[in-house]
Structure 1
Amino acid sequence: MFKRILFLFLVLCPLISVAQDFSDSWEGHFSYNNIKDVTASESKIYAASENAVFTYNILTQETSTLSSIQGLSGELISTIHYSLDFEALVIGYENGLIEIFLEEDSKVLSVVDIVDKPTIPPTSKKINHFNENEGLIYISTNYGISVYNLNRLEFGDTYFIGDSGVQSVVTQTTVSEGYIFAAGLDFIGLKRAELSNSNLIDYKQWTKISSGQFTAVEAVSNNVYAVDIGRFIYKVTGTNINGSIQFPTAPLDVKSANNELVITTINHVYLYDADLRIIAEVGQNDAFSTNYTSAITTIDSFYIGSSSLGVLQSPIDNPFSFKEIRPDGPSMNIPFSVKAGYNNAWVTYGDYTLSYNPFPIQTRGVSHLKNGAWKNIPTDSILGTTNLNAISVNPNKISQVFISSFQKGLLEVDADLATKLFNETNSTLDPIALPNSTEIRLSASTFDGDGLLYTLSGRVQSPLNSYDPNSNQWKSYSFEGLYTDAFGGEWGFSDIVIDNSGVAWVGSFKNGIIGYDFKSGTSKIKSLNEESQNMPTVSVSAVALDNSNQLWIGTARGLRVLYNTSSFFTDSNVQVSEIIILDDGIAKELLAQEYISSIEVDGSNNKWIGTIGSGVYYFSSDGQEAIYHFTKDNSPIPSNNISDISIDNSNGKVFIATESGLVAFYSGSSETKDNYNDAYVYPNPVRPTFNIVDELVKIKGLTDRVNIKITDIEGNLVAEAQANVNSRFGGSNLEIDGGTAFWNGKNLANNVVRSGVYLIMLSDTETFETKVLKLMVIR
């Protein structure tokens, strides 16, 4: 019945929308370690992490995920509930949003009534609990109780039941014997009212059973139990309560399942019958060190949500046996830095503030995506390092990565094992310029074309250091020509790139964009940080060198480009430039006043730019055309605050790290090659089931000077394209994006080609190298 009336009410209810599924172009890399709530259907367990959900099929033992990729908002989840009658998962969020996932149709409905309610303060909109009764969901919130009709997909009344009708925190409700019971804090306590009363919006219709602060109320059979902040559980009889048990630690979650009561504390789960007689209990297992957050039971097992191990399954008749259940993913949903390449991706969780303050100190592990699976290096295996941030992969040994610690120095990881920590005792890295300090605030790093690693550390006189992994030799470089105050002269560095001439381009917090030429014989150092040089601020937050040797500079107040890098040290009046675009005929500065957090250049010389507050932009090579602008509203990125972006040029996958999780976009582009040895076309053959117009034929392994001609077997020209002429998103039938070309199967007359064999002739316009590929099309 619910499914049949659904689309009618989607038309009639303007505050309900159907979320888009982005799984064709995106993939989610969310952590499912920290579980906020669990619930169950007859055959599945549902577990909510910070901003995503996974399901566990009890019979098949398979897991599946539900995240922003499938249409969830990406906001912080506070509670979930599964409706058996409507076969729907109801998800509540801290900002008041409600989403309903219809399992049979795989659709997500977004209900924004509470989010958009102007009379409720944003801090009071948190959804605390769902209680379903006869097609109605009673929603406990930080302002009171709202009623939602699952049959009609619409809200009913809202009850402000605090003393004198004020908005107050309701933690949980339950229904028993014709009454609705409400537990709450402050002005609520424990109250009840008759469900048949048509005037429950009047706070006077609610009878206060007990003052105090109650965290839960739950009915089991005909009995009602309430829990207060004093850790007592009470039996509610009429308008009286009687305390019988005080728990050693505060109950965090109270649920009814199978006519039994499930109570979860930080280190224990208790299962009671309807008369509060203990049936079974689960303590902690030393081999599974974690905190419990919530729990549900089936006929034979506990399913316990934890803070770091996902869901733990424990048989009711053998509560000493544990099994971890969670989908594959990184260790956390707060990526600080991401580095992708060679079909791998590395993630760290930092962090330091925008002003390079490392406190509070964070000890967090490292995550590594390899061959589609995540390997998480835990905090006890990173040699005591803290505030891990920038990642550099050795291009000559991709199993070896170097990770900056904004406290301890440089961590070397090889084959997923932390092997060495470089600090002041075994390298040229200097601690901050304070007496007896051992604190090394290391941030940006990169490898140059010769396989040397360059790192930068703040609050020292010689912040730039190089390391040769082959010879184990270190070398330091002083910035004395730029500043003399070692401690206060520069707090930290955001980015570093090294061009083909050996100049290091460095983004700094206090000195703008820095150029340092240390290979010219006599070291030269210079910075641009003044308004007269067209710098909008001294704080540079991102740096990228594009394929034309132009330097793209992200700042806290907008974007700049240094077009002529070769004259940087010789021109006495060097200036950076803003990019001017026409917006409806009006000249405007591109990304004016935006906080630029990351800039990446892809194989086509196009620019991926991350921001704080405005999501991700994908621009043409000159910035004049916005190809994509991804935000929370039109894409699965879970936040508009972008921490980092990294492109895996081997497959064109763009990894986007946000403050609320990591996602990846299939851009389809790839890096160019030096020759056509590895060139190929796919799919081949093109079968009738393949939608050639929309899904496109891909030709990979191209040089950056390629000319492509496609002919039929008789030699008639079908399509032609050349690098930097027929660029992607230009509207041509055959387009080139870095090392990949895309053909929509149409000929020069704009008609889809017939079945047959087609020849793809590749030629390099500089080296004159050629190669011919054969493609069969079956229609």
Structure 2
Amino acid sequence: MKRKILVIVITLFATLMQSQDYSALWEGHYSYLNIKDTSRSENKIYAAAENAIFTYDVNTFEIEKISTINGLSGENISTIHYSQNYGLLLIGYDNGLIEIVIDGEVNVLTVVDILDKPTIPPTNKRINHFNEYNGVVYIATDFGISVYDLARLEFGDTYYIGNNGAQIRVEQTTVHDDYIYAACFDGNGLKQALVASDNLIDSQEWSMIAGGNFVSVQEHLDNVFAIRGNRRVYRIENGTLNQLTILNAPILDVKSNDDYFLITTQNDVYVYDVNFNLILNATFNEELNTSFTSASFHSGFLYIGTENHGILKTALIDGVIFEEIHPDGPLLNNSFAIEASANNLWVTFGDYTLTYLPSPLRNRGISHLTGDDWVNIPSNSVLGARNLNKIAVNPFNNNQAYISSFHDGLLEVVNNSPTVLFNEDNSGLESLVIESSPNYKSIRVSASKFDSNGVLWTMTGRVARPLKSYDPTTGQWQGYDFTELIPDALGGEWGYSDIEIDNNGTKWIGGYNYGLIGFNNNNGVQLKSLNSEEDNMSNAFVTSLALDNNNRIWVGTFSGLRVLYNTSNFFNEDVQVEEIIILDANGQPAELLYQQAISDIEVDGANNKWVGVTGSGLFYFSPDGQETIFHFTKDNSPLPSNNVIDVSIDDTSGKVYIATDKGLLAYGSGSSGTEEDFEEAFVYPNPIRPDFNMAEKKVKLRGLPENVNIKITDIEGNLVAEAQSNVNLRYKGYHLEIDGGSAFWDGKNLANNTVASGVYLVMLTDLDSLETKVLKLMVIR
């Protein structure tokens, strides 16, 4: 009955907001390896990763994910608690936000009372612990204790229990017999008060049991255990502390599950019975090489949260053999660079600083998505390559990728196995040279790109010959001198962000000090850059480049967007880049993305532009930039952050992959590249089953020529929908929309009704060649 009442009561309180479910068009590719907390229900283990949740059914072994795709905020999770009585999962965050997931409900409820409270400093709002008792939850925070009514889904009182009502950090609370206990940090000790008191908001109601720093207090089978920051474990007996043991490491997590009392440290999980006898010590496993974070017990098994292996499951009678449990995903959430190819995505975790320093040196692995499966290459398998960053995939072999290292050279990966680390000993790559430190070696490779002939071009920072070419077929290297443009090889140019190659063989390169650099050696060496105000550059620091379908170079800088329209005469004439002028909300001329820090620019199959902006999310512009089709932010999409780091488009599927500093996502309604004919044209899903929401997820056609007419009819020939390239613009409300080599149908007919079950004919006509093709589509409703 309580759960039914909850659903009715939700709409009655203004402090509750329902988050949107984005699963129709978006995919989340979060890392679930770093576990912050665990909880349990009657048949599930709940695990909180950095900013997403997964559940593990202890009976069916099924794993389900809950992330920003389902409405979570994407903020950093600090603690979770599952209420068996109310069927609620409570999620607490570092910033004071609380979210509630109700069993069987789609939407996530957002509670912003603490987050929005102006009297609490932003740094003191962290949610530390949830303690459920008699229908309410006592929320331990960095400012005190807040009380939340689970039946009514609303806040009650807040207890500031420091001296004279000061805000103090409370790590955990528990209730036993007549008392509520609070473990306080920062020297504020262990406190208690009568739980039935009507005046707990008065700090004088709270008496001190012992001083010092306490990290936990937990009721367990008619006992109360308290743990100090100095690793000492006590039983509270008649208001005094009785020391039981001293552990060998700081305590990270304490729980009471069934008959067992669990204490987690970095390398151990201790399981005690009611008399505090040690039943099991699950300890650090050298093969896994991880640290523990939390633990829960369920039905004879211990579920241990770790920093980089998700959940480790071990039998209570064992504690040695571990089963790794977590959803598929990349190694980390903070991607540095991504690169998509046909049904593949490569991810690195770099990095180098904004000023192109390889500091700190990071030894991190690589993640590779193939179809729906992730392959993670660990850091100990990348041949010692550090600060792995930009990725180039061989266009003639999707299983061969080259990963730039901003200190150690260039890493070749074949069939997910690192095979060669190219450096100055086995390739044409060169280290920078510091006269005062002749033994110092640093090969700072960043931007890389394959040309149409399968030759790889790379850029190395702080050397005289930064541009290198490598032919994987012949093994030949070639270097190209830039000293005519950059006389000071070591200090003149610190690094290169991007490289694009046009149909004339010109290499367009983004520099830090030298702006947009053009290089062509077809008829002698031509080398030139645009980097000053006279060139109309908004900043010499170029962060991203994109070559569009009209052979124009889109230039992203640290403070704005520019376009080079006249690429063919770049070396022969005095050319400039241009800003894009649009009309703002008031109808006044304004510069598009004025002074914004552009992180990446990508061009899709319809020549539309996807532009990532640091702090402002992701923009989707029309080919000329005059129309903003979408502007995705944390507020209107499942992006966990407005800091977009990198973007990449799979031209085969049309998926747009978006890397933020808090996770990786894919938007599934991007356009794909056009084809020469209908040989590769197909429609999916087919058949369309009753559980497929056509209006939200759209029926998709791929593999279309550039100039096409599409008619959808029923089996009797009645017209259902029609569209033609360059006539019906996307996102304008038409039922059938064409974008590049893709088309999207919402399942409705000309009368705006969802079509009935039956067979439908998709008739395609190439308006240039007059070639035709008919596809059959089955709809089951």
With normalisation by structure 1, the TM-score equals 0.95
**CA distance in structure 1 between the aligned counterparts of 2:242 and 2:698, rounded to whole angstroms:** 70
The aligned counterpart of 1:635 is: 637
Matches within 5 A, 1:283-302: 283-302=283-302
Task: Report if the CA contact (8 A) 1:35-1:310 is conserved.
Answer: yes
Task: Report if the CA contact (8 A) 1:424-1:438 is conserved.
Answer: no
Matches within 5 A, 1:686-725: 696-708=698-710, 721-725=723-727
Match 1:517 to one of 515, 520, 524: 520
In structure 2, the residue corresponding to 1:69 is in which secondary structure?
helix
- Displacement of 1:769 after TM fit? 5.4
Residue identity in the other structure for 1:559? L
Q: 1:436 to 1:705 in 2, by over 3 A?
A: farther
The aligned counterpart of 1:438 is: 441
Moved more, 508-517 or 360-369: 508-517
Please say if 1:482 is aligned against 2:485.
yes
**CA distance in structure 1 between the aligned counterparts of 2:193 and 2:750, rounded to whole angstroms:** 75
**CA distance in structure 1 between the aligned counterparts of 2:443 and 2:158, rounded to whole angstroms:** 55
Task: Report if the CA contact (8 A) 2:683-2:777 is conserved.
Answer: no
Q: 1:477 to 1:7 in 2, by over 3 A?
A: same
**CA distance in structure 2 between the aligned counterparts of 1:695 and 1:172, rounded to whole angstroms:** 44
Task: Report if the CA contact (8 A) 1:433-1:486 is conserved.
Answer: no
- Displacement of 1:436 after TM fit? 2.7
Match 1:529 to one of 528, 531, 547: 531
Task: Report if the CA contact (8 A) 2:579-2:591 is conserved.
Answer: no
Q: Deviations over 1:644-693 (max 9, x none)?
A: 01011110111111101111110152121122222234455678887666
In structure 1, the residue corresponding to 2:183 is in which secondary structure?
strand
Residue identity in the other structure for 2:380? D
Residue identity in the other structure for 2:476? Q
**CA distance in structure 2 between the aligned counterparts of 1:280 and 1:631, rounded to whole angstroms:** 47
Aligned length: 776
Task: Report if the CA contact (8 A) 1:92-1:99 is conserved.
Answer: yes
In structure 2, the residue corresponding to 1:11 is in which secondary structure?
helix
Residue identity in the other structure for 1:484? P
In structure 2, the residue corresponding to 1:410 is in which secondary structure?
strand
Q: 1:480 to 1:2 in 2, by over 3 A?
A: farther
Moved more, 689-698 or 292-301: 689-698
Task: Report if the CA contact (8 A) 2:656-2:670 is conserved.
Answer: no
Residue identity in the other structure for 2:495? G
Please say if 1:775 is aligned against 2:759.
no
Q: Deviations over 1:343-365 (max 9, x none)?
A: 01111001112222221111100
**CA distance in structure 1 between the aligned counterparts of 2:92 and 2:714, rounded to whole angstroms:** 57
Please say if 1:458 is aligned against 2:461.
yes
- Displacement of 1:433 after TM fit? 2.9
**CA distance in structure 1 between the aligned counterparts of 2:470 and 2:290, rounded to whole angstroms:** 39
**CA distance in structure 2 between the aligned counterparts of 1:758 and 1:62, rounded to whole angstroms:** 39
The aligned counterpart of 1:204 is: 204
Task: Report if the CA contact (8 A) 2:536-2:576 is conserved.
Answer: no
Matches within 5 A, 1:183-198: 183-198=183-198
Q: 1:515 to 1:80 in 2, by over 3 A?
A: same
Q: Deviations over 1:709-750 (max 9, x none)?
A: 567789887765443343422444443211122345667787
Match 1:615 to one of 609, 614, 617: 617
Matches within 5 A, 1:345-744: 345-434=345-434, 435-519=438-522, 521-682=523-684, 696-708=698-710, 721-744=723-746
**CA distance in structure 1 between the aligned counterparts of 2:246 and 2:760, rounded to whole angstroms:** 79
Q: 1:24 to 1:220 in 2, by over 3 A?
A: same
- Displacement of 1:480 after TM fit? 1.3
The aligned counterpart of 1:316 is: 316
**CA distance in structure 2 between the aligned counterparts of 1:389 and 1:626, rounded to whole angstroms:** 30
**CA distance in structure 1 between the aligned counterparts of 2:648 and 2:397, rounded to whole angstroms:** 19
**CA distance in structure 2 between the aligned counterparts of 1:714 and 1:263, rounded to whole angstroms:** 70
Q: 1:83 to 1:691 in 2, by over 3 A?
A: closer
- Displacement of 1:759 after TM fit? 6.0
The aligned counterpart of 1:257 is: 257
The aligned counterpart of 1:174 is: 174
In structure 2, the residue corresponding to 1:305 is in which secondary structure?
strand
- Displacement of 1:260 after TM fit? 2.5
- Displacement of 1:466 after TM fit? 0.9
Task: Report if the CA contact (8 A) 1:258-1:299 is conserved.
Answer: no
- Displacement of 1:532 after TM fit? 2.3
Q: Deviations over 1:535-564 (max 9, x none)?
A: 111111111011111111111111111122
Q: Which runs of 5+ in 2 are unaligned?
A: none
- Displacement of 1:568 after TM fit? 1.4
**CA distance in structure 2 between the aligned counterparts of 1:193 and 1:690, rounded to whole angstroms:** 55
- Displacement of 1:66 after TM fit? 0.8
**CA distance in structure 2 between the aligned counterparts of 1:753 and 1:58, rounded to whole angstroms:** 42
In structure 2, the residue corresponding to 1:406 is in which secondary structure?
strand
In structure 1, the residue corresponding to 2:635 is in which secondary structure?
coil
**CA distance in structure 1 between the aligned counterparts of 2:714 and 2:12, rounded to whole angstroms:** 53
Q: Which runs of 5+ in 1 are unaligned?
A: none
Task: Report if the CA contact (8 A) 2:335-2:663 is conserved.
Answer: yes
Residue identity in the other structure for 2:726? N
Moved more, 685-694 or 384-393: 685-694
Task: Report if the CA contact (8 A) 1:708-1:763 is conserved.
Answer: no
In structure 1, the residue corresponding to 2:196 is in which secondary structure?
coil
Q: Deviations over 1:325-356 (max 9, x none)?
A: 11111111111111111101111001112222
Task: Report if the CA contact (8 A) 1:163-1:187 is conserved.
Answer: no
- Displacement of 1:107 after TM fit? 3.1
Matches within 5 A, 1:44-63: 44-63=44-63
Residue identity in the other structure for 1:329? G
Q: Deviations over 1:24-74 (max 9, x none)?
A: 111111111111111111111111110111111001111111111111111
In structure 2, the residue corresponding to 1:565 is in which secondary structure?
coil
- Displacement of 1:10 after TM fit? 3.4
In structure 1, the residue corresponding to 2:6 is in which secondary structure?
helix
In structure 2, the residue corresponding to 1:329 is in which secondary structure?
coil
**CA distance in structure 1 between the aligned counterparts of 2:320 and 2:663, rounded to whole angstroms:** 33
Task: Report if the CA contact (8 A) 1:273-1:279 is conserved.
Answer: yes
Residue identity in the other structure for 1:628? F
**CA distance in structure 2 between the aligned counterparts of 1:489 and 1:674, rounded to whole angstroms:** 45
- Displacement of 1:410 after TM fit? 0.3
- Displacement of 1:155 after TM fit? 1.1
- Displacement of 1:285 after TM fit? 2.8
Q: 1:584 to 1:6 in 2, by over 3 A?
A: farther
**CA distance in structure 1 between the aligned counterparts of 2:644 and 2:725, rounded to whole angstroms:** 31
- Displacement of 1:282 after TM fit? 1.3
Q: 1:333 to 1:731 in 2, by over 3 A?
A: same
Moved more, 582-591 or 540-549: 582-591
Residue identity in the other structure for 2:536? N
When the two chains are superposed, the root-mean-square deviation of aligned CA atoms in Å is 2.2
**CA distance in structure 2 between the aligned counterparts of 1:245 and 1:507, rounded to whole angstroms:** 61
Task: Report if the CA contact (8 A) 1:542-1:555 is conserved.
Answer: yes
The aligned counterpart of 2:133 is: 133
- Displacement of 1:271 after TM fit? 1.1
Moved more, 679-688 or 662-671: 679-688
Task: Report if the CA contact (8 A) 1:494-1:540 is conserved.
Answer: yes
Residue identity in the other structure for 1:771? T
Q: 1:513 to 1:93 in 2, by over 3 A?
A: same
The aligned counterpart of 1:30 is: 30
- Displacement of 1:427 after TM fit? 1.6
